[in-house]
Amino acid sequence: MSEQLALLPGLLTAHLQLALVALALGTLLSVPTGVLVTRRRSLEPGILGVASVLQTIPSLALLAIMVPLLAALGGFTASAFGVELRSIGYLPAIIALTLYSVLPILRNTVTGIEGVDPALSEAARGVGMTDGERLRRVELPLAAPVIVAGVRTAAVWVVGTATLSTPVGAPSLGNYIFSGLQTRNTTAVLVGCAAAALLALFLDQTIRLLESGAAARSRRRWGAAAAVLLALYAYTGASFVAGRASAGARPVVRIGAKSFTEQYILSEMLALQLRRRTGGPAEIVPSLGSTVAFDALRAGDLDVYVDYSGTIFATIMKRTDPFVSREAVLEQVLRFLADEHGIESAGALGFQNTYALGMRADRAAQLGVKTISDLTGAAGTLEIGGDYEFFQRVEWKALEERYGLAFAAQRSMDPALMYEAVRAGDVDVISAFSTDGRIAAYDLVLLEDDRGVIPPYDALVLTGPALEERAPGARAALGALEGAIDEATMQRLNMAVDAEGRSPESVARAFLDGLP
């Protein structure tokens, strides 16, 4: 608990920064647009339509889509204007959250201005106001309570949605939730949820005070609310500047982690190794989407992360042809990364984390299943569960074709829940990861890939082009881990987190301390 709470000030501040900046930008964008709509009625269907469509895009998708969009845009701005855009981190999160805040503010601005008594608009013109004066002195002040109510709605949405910034590399209270769910740390999940809810409630009540103060024309009430908001802005602004200043002083190596236990442990291990060997700072960007991490490394937004040869082979190189051998795949992958993307490997860690079909041992024995071939006949009566990407991946297509697998049902689910589902008998087969600690803990067996369909998944420490520049000696430090972890060790480390409830950081530290 205290370990979780220690992270709270940093994540809360980061979360507040995201929410407040997005809200400010959303307001600056939406209020003038709303005014424009009330002036040019022909624009209303178009503009409100676009805002409504933005709102219907699932928030996680809106955030995720910003990463490739910004990467593409960044390529253009870098060549055209020499301006580098970061495709992960604050920028995609802020843009997506800002867009998300538009609709309620825009709609309320239009409603608020249209709700002004026509007699007052006539009076405003009658006393000699220009259109601009009428807007500033009469319509906006009178519409203010309605507009502020829109900002309040947006604030609650944005605080909630900001938890989804974590997978695009912007730290937020979502860090608790994403890593907590993957490492089965309920405390972390609860701390994240409670903090986000309390923050939303706090902003909601503060803005409500602003709203009722504006409605009652109570300068004291809205002044107090405005002072609280200004203080929050000043605080987040100052912490942003302070963060920039300390970051500017020394280049920080950024280490990515995808959203599963093994990645959390390995990222902690790499960070620790770098700090110990180079003396330089290293920070972890946790819970990234799978391709988000690769795109970020390529773009120089990350310096290091661990990926698997088979994942690059299948997902990035889009190879569907049968592979020759573990060594051949590794060689092809390394050549592709170096030639196409300027990405190097600091070494293979020594274990594979392959996709493997897993079943409960008693169920497999009952059905007499040892290999995937054994499954072919029984599949029609069985259900399979896979992680979100599994059924879209070429490995699954290859399995289906080469083994003629046709399950009664297939379900996509969160990897953490997938193991619980097979343990409870809700599904019969899962797309397990071979190093997962829960395989042993839940008494699962992995079926042999007797036709050699699933490619090898050597864990590789991938390094981006700017690593040596940021931390001289880093490649050598990371290279020291080559071959240091075998499959059994990785399973044990994963289990220490998943089953014993230890933190990834302490597991990683204990492992490094035990190395010769």
Interface ranges with another protein (CB under 8 A)? 117, 119-120, 122-130, 133, 137-138, 141-142, 217
Whose structure tokens read 């592709």?
336
Choose among 374, 365, 363: nearest CA to 426. 363
Q: SS3 for 448?
A: strand
- Smallest distance from another protein to CB 121, Å: 8
Which residues contact residue 137 at a Cβ distance below 8 angstroms, ignoring those fewer than 6 apart?
A: 124, 129
- Smallest distance from another protein to CB 155, Å: 24
Question: For residue 26, what are its two tokens?
Answer: 């959303």
- Distance in angstroms (rounded) separating the CA atoms of residues 37 and 40: 5
Indicate the DSSP class of residue 447. P
Of 31 and 88, CB closest to another protein: 31
Torsion-angle region of residue 489: left (phi > 0), alpha (psi -120 to 50) or beta? alpha
Q: 266, 348 in Cβ contact below 8 A?
A: no
- Smallest distance from another protein to CB 117, Å: 8
Q: 313, 332 in Cβ contact below 8 A?
A: yes
- Smallest distance from another protein to CB 118, Å: 9
The residues pairing with 431 across neighbouring beta strands, listed in sequence order, are 357
Of 120 and 488, CB closest to another protein: 120
Of 140 and 252, CB closest to another protein: 140
Of 127 and 201, CB closest to another protein: 127
Of 205 and 218, CB closest to another protein: 218
Alpha-helix runs per DSSP H in 279-325: 290-298, 309-311
How many CA atoms within 13 Å lie on the side-chain side of 63? 26
- Smallest distance from another protein to CB 172, Å: 38
Of 131 and 283, CB closest to another protein: 131
Of 119 and 245, CB closest to another protein: 119
- Smallest distance from another protein to CB 126, Å: 4
- Smallest distance from another protein to CB 35, Å: 18
Question: For residue 278, what are its two tokens?
Answer: 């180079």
Of 10 and 141, CB closest to another protein: 141
Q: SS3 for 88?
A: coil
- Smallest distance from another protein to CB 224, Å: 19
DSSP string covering 329-343: HHHHHHHHHHHHH--
Choose among 154, 150, 171, 176: nearest CA to 16. 171
- Distance in angstroms (rounded) separating the CA atoms of residues 112 and 284: 45
